[in-house]
Amino acid sequence: QPDDRGLIGDVPVLRVTRRGSEAVHFVPDALEPGAEVLLSLDWERRFDHMQQHSGQHLISAVAEQMFGFKTTSWELGRQRSVIELDTPLVTAEQVEALEKSVNEKIRDRVPVTVRELAADDPEIETVRSRGLPDDHVGPVRVVDIEGIDSNLCCGTHVSNLSDLQVIKLLGVEKGKKNKTNLVFLVGNRVLKTIEQSHSTEKALTTLLKNGPGEHVEAVKRLQSSVKLLQKNNLNLLRDIAVLIARDFKSKPAPKPLFVLHRKEGDSEFMNIIANEIGTEETLLFLTVGDEKEAGLFLLAGPVEAVENLGPRVAELLAGKGAGKRGRFQGKAAKMSRRGEVQALLQDFISHQNPGA
């Protein structure tokens, strides 16, 4: 269970941890030894932990009674909690039956009590436990849910199951080998989740312009439309790439350097252009993406030239890339430096061919 928070006087408590029998409090400012202070507890946090922890005891006890599922560990998370059950499978029907049973016990207003036993008390052997810490000292604390469970525990708990309000089992997830994780919410977390879900539902109703029962079908239709648009857009980009390449090749005396940037393109778009133009004699520098932010680049041309220039191009664009057989491509972080790359390539061509 996570630690409590609050104030010692006006000083916030950042963390509490245990060292043997002592609770060590971490605070940002020094406190005067011997001073009388008022302790203020973050009750909302404490009560949330009480609800989740007592809820875990109840769920674990009932799961073992109904189905023989033993709890091997659990986690009290910030938004949801998880119980690890020692079974490879929990069916949807079992989850439903378990949820129904624990909520019936909440409505029965079953008392929850805490008692202490001596460390050598033989009764400890009859109480459910995962063992005591090696540095434990003093009496042993037992939390009893009347008629349902007795468990060794040092956590904070409610005094009656009615304080749990309600338990919602969100389903199961695959756990470690031959284990299953049962996800759950208790009390106020159920109310908060419903409120969040309702807000999301209202927003979707406005955006999709239909009722909650039609949201899923509306999203499926939108997904289908987007896929079709993406497919059509890709086909158009391919056609544009071919036309750009053919236009370049149709010129009487094509230049030895071809530079092109297109915001909407992708890697395939660049490679189509390179394939259509051919790279035996022409050096191509192609880029796609945001003109001033990140994007993709392709340097294609004679093998020796690309091997020499590729890493330098990536460095200028603050990017990374790799190449083989006359092509060097990768990701660029600073597309705004495309002009510097073009100048580098032009200078290289000028030295290779002074008349260019």
Residue whose C-alpha is closest to residue 87's, from 183, 184, 182, 180 = 180
Euclidean distance between CA atoms 32 and 10, whole angstroms: 12
pLDDT for the residue 217: 95
Q: Which fold has domain 241-352?
A: Diaminopimelate Epimerase; Chain A, domain 1 (3.10.310)
Residues 6+ away with beta carbon under 8 Å from 144: 112, 113, 114, 115, 150, 151
Range(s) within the chain of domains with CATH label 3.30.980.10: 43-205
Q: Which fold has domain 43-205?
A: Threonyl-tRNA Synthetase; Chain A, domain 2 (3.30.980)
Cβ atoms of 158 and 135 closer than 8 Å: no
Residues 6+ away with beta carbon under 8 Å from 102: 55, 58, 59, 62, 167
Both tokens assigned to 137: 């000292």
| Residues forming a β-bridge with 15 | 26
Euclidean distance between CA atoms 206 and 97, whole angstroms: 36
pLDDT for the residue 108: 97
- In the chain, count of helices (H) and strands (E)? 7, 17
Range(s) within the chain of domains with CATH label 3.10.310.40: 241-352
Sign of the C-alpha dihedral computed for residues 22, 28, 31 and 37 taken in this order: negative
Cβ atoms of 114 and 137 closer than 8 Å: no
- pLDDT digit string (tens) for 95-141? 999 999 999 999 999 999 999 998 888 888 888 777 777 777 788 99
Euclidean distance between CA atoms 66 and 61, whole angstroms: 9
DSSP E strand stretches across the chain: 6-8, 11-13, 15-19, 22-26, 39-41, 71-76, 81-85, 112-117, 140-145, 149-152, 167-174, 180-186, 257-262, 283-289, 295-300, 320-324, 327-332
Query: How many C-beta atoms surround the C-beta of residue 113 within 10 A?
Result: 13
Concatenated DSSP letters of 311-331: HHHHHHTT-EEEEETTEEEEE
Query: How many C-beta atoms surround the C-beta of residue 141 within 10 A?
Result: 14
Four-point Cα dihedral 201, 203, 208, 214, nearest 10: 10
Question: CA angle, 320 as apex, 317 and 322 as ends, to 5°?
Answer: 120
Residues 6+ away with beta carbon under 8 Å from 296: 265, 266, 267, 270, 287, 288, 289, 329, 330, 331, 332
Q: If you ran DSSP here, which 8-state letter would residue 295 be given?
A: E
Sign of the C-alpha dihedral computed for residues 137, 138, 144 and 150 taken in this order: positive
Q: Whole-prediction pTM value?
A: 0.73
Euclidean distance between CA atoms 111 and 160, whole angstroms: 4
**For each of the chain's 356 residues, which pLDDT tens digit applies?**
899 999 999 999 999 998 888 899 999 999 999 999 999 999 999 999 999 999 999 999 999 999 999 999 999 999 999 999 999 999 999 999 999 999 999 999 999 999 999 888 888 888 877 777 777 778 899 999 999 999 999 899 999 999 999 999 999 999 999 999 999 999 999 999 999 999 999 999 999 999 999 999 999 999 999 999 989 988 998 999 999 999 988 888 778 899 999 998 899 999 999 999 987 888 999 999 988 889 999 999 999 999 999 999 999 999 999 988 899 999 999 999 999 999 999 999 888 765 54
